[in-house]
Amino acid sequence: MSEQLITYIAQPGGHLSGKIRVPGDKSISHRSIMLGSLSEGTMTISGFLQGEDSLATLKAFRAMGVQIQGPDDQGKVIINGVGMHGLKKPDAPLDLGNSGTSMRLLTGLLSAQGFDITLAGDSSLSSRPMKRVTDPVIQMGADIESNDSDGKQGTAPLNIHSDAETQLKGIDYILPMASAQVKSCVLLAGLYAQGKTCVTEPAPTRDHTERMLQGFGYNLDIKKLDQQRSKICLQGGGKLIAGNIDVPSDISSAAFFMVGASIAEGSDITLNHVGINPTRTGIINILKLMGADITLSNEKEVGGEPVADIRIRHAQLKGIHIPEDQVPLAIDEFPAISIAAACAQGQTILTGAEELRVKESDRIQAMIDGLQILGIDCEGTKDGLIINGGEFGSGTVDSLGDHRIAMSFAMAALKAKGAITIKDCANVNTSFPGFITLARSSGLQVNDKKAVS
């Protein structure tokens, strides 16, 4: 089957300015479809992200019998909830494309629906580890088969076997590493389990699942064990009541413009209505530690999620040792942060980020390879990066089909001596449809070139 190949060509120089709004938050968009479908009543979502990942979740629930209208041009979606036990067996495996969030959360949510179901994805998703979510759900009593040909990762497709006799049991699970996806998977399985399900996380991770469950009327017991650890518990057998959701702009998408404006002289840009959930603000905290000029205004809460307008002006950045307690709060933003580090004075060191090696690509290696091609002195470690600030030359880098790698290197052109060509950029549409148009309108000199393989 032919595929469209997209290459970005970013010309050197320029700066970012104006007031823009980046697309809706991907994490919240996913969860709004999932919980809205299981709720009782009709709900409206505003600002839904029309990227391929979140649309894969929407299509999956349509395939399981949920009536969903939209999204329209403004990201409005209307869901007629079917209740906790109203999903129907789809006619075919659920194709989740490139969306790891969809697969990992649905592994828990669909583990006791009373019908067999297969979760499948593209070649990239099918190479990513799923054992971290299947293991705890199997401990709860689920019957899940994965591809164990590599002996340890348990990759997709995932075959979930469930019938009328399937009954999960609540467990007290201690996360081996900080992961919002694993935490959410276990909690969603816990909705269908007998007794109490608890998850203890070793460090704070994004808490959109907990906020939204509570917003839909589900009772959670959340206890802070110490400065880092929290324990989240819920009783199975409850119900969800539909409530409208206004999805804020995605701070992970805003991160590219935050870095671009920080590194490019003359930049002054404002990003409107960005979600500033405290479990997601690592990008702001880290850039400020590096000396970035970032101010927040118009702070308010929308649907249980804090939002603000974020203004970023150019500033000379300095290298730092990134605090490990910030790593889970910025796990998706490290490709962009790596570009900031390459433009900073001195050395930046990242540790405690081994999860970056099992994202859409090995993001540690992908960034090191690209930065070295562009003339930056850097190296990868088992769990992070060491980057010495320098100057970008020109060259061709491979995004490896990873949307965040592609957009990060596009922003690097703002401080490059020559053009940067970025290969394999089609997957930018998974999280940021319209990236090229918005980036160009802000001052980035970038074009996309399409071909068919």
Buried b (16+ CB within 10 A) or exposed e, 58-78: bbbbebbebebebbeeebebb
Residue 85: burial class (beta carbons within 10 Å; 0-12, 13-18, 19+)? exposed
- Cα separation of 431 and 423, whole Å? 17
Q: What pLDDT score was predicted for residue 1?
A: 31
DSSP string for residues in 158-192: EEEE--TT--EE--EEE-SS--HHHHHHHHHHHTT
Q: What angle do CA 173, 277, 135 make, to 5 degrees?
A: 20
Question: What residue ranges do the domains of the chain occupy?
Answer: 4-23+248-452, 26-246
Q: What is the pLDDT along the chain (453 residues), one digit of tens a residue?
A: 335 789 999 999 999 999 999 999 999 999 999 999 999 999 999 999 999 999 999 999 999 999 999 999 889 999 999 999 999 999 999 999 999 999 999 999 999 999 999 999 999 899 988 999 999 999 999 999 998 755 557 899 999 999 988 999 999 999 999 899 999 999 999 999 999 999 999 999 999 999 999 999 999 999 999 988 999 999 999 999 998 999 999 999 999 999 999 999 999 999 999 999 999 999 999 999 999 999 999 999 887 889 999 999 999 999 999 999 999 899 999 999 999 999 999 999 999 998 888 777 899 999 999 999 999 999 999 999 999 999 999 999 999 999 999 999 999 999 999 999 999 999 898 889 899 999 999 999 999 988 755
Question: 350 pairs with which residues across the strands?
Answer: 385
332 is catalytic: yes
Q: What pLDDT score was predicted for residue 152?
A: 55
- Cα separation of 444 and 423, whole Å? 18
| 117-120: strand order across its sheet | 94-95, 117-120, 155-161, 143-147
Pairing between β-strand 42-46 and β-strand 245-246 as defined by DSSP bridges: parallel
- Cα separation of 185 and 141, whole Å? 14
315 contact partners, CB below 8 Å, separation of at least 6 = 262, 291, 292, 293
Q: What pLDDT score was predicted for residue 3?
A: 56
Q: Are 3 and 252 in contact (CB under 8 A)?
A: no
CA 235 to mean position of chain CA atoms: 27
The residue written with tokens 């704070």 in the block is: 204
Q: Are 168 and 192 in contact (CB under 8 A)?
A: yes
Q: What pLDDT score was predicted for residue 150?
A: 52
The residue from 332, 398, 402, 424 that is catalytic is 332
Q: What pLDDT score was predicted for residue 307?
A: 96
- Supply the Cα-derived Rg of the chain in whole angstroms: 21
**pTM of the complete model beyond 0.85:** yes
CATH no. for 26-246: 3.65.10.10
Pairing between β-strand 168-169 and β-strand 155-161 as defined by DSSP bridges: unpaired
- Cα separation of 220 and 277, whole Å? 18
- Same fold for the pair 4-23+248-452 and 26-246: yes
Residue 369 gets the label, from left (phi > 0), alpha (psi -120 to 50) or beta, of alpha
Q: Are 61 and 34 in contact (CB under 8 A)?
A: yes
Task: Compute how many other C-beta atoms are within 10 angstroms of the C-beta atom of residue 50.
Answer: 21
- What's 4-23+248-452's CATH class? alpha beta
Task: Compute how many other C-beta atoms are within 10 angstroms of the C-beta atom of residue 208.
Answer: 23
One-letter amino acid for residue 154 of the chain: G
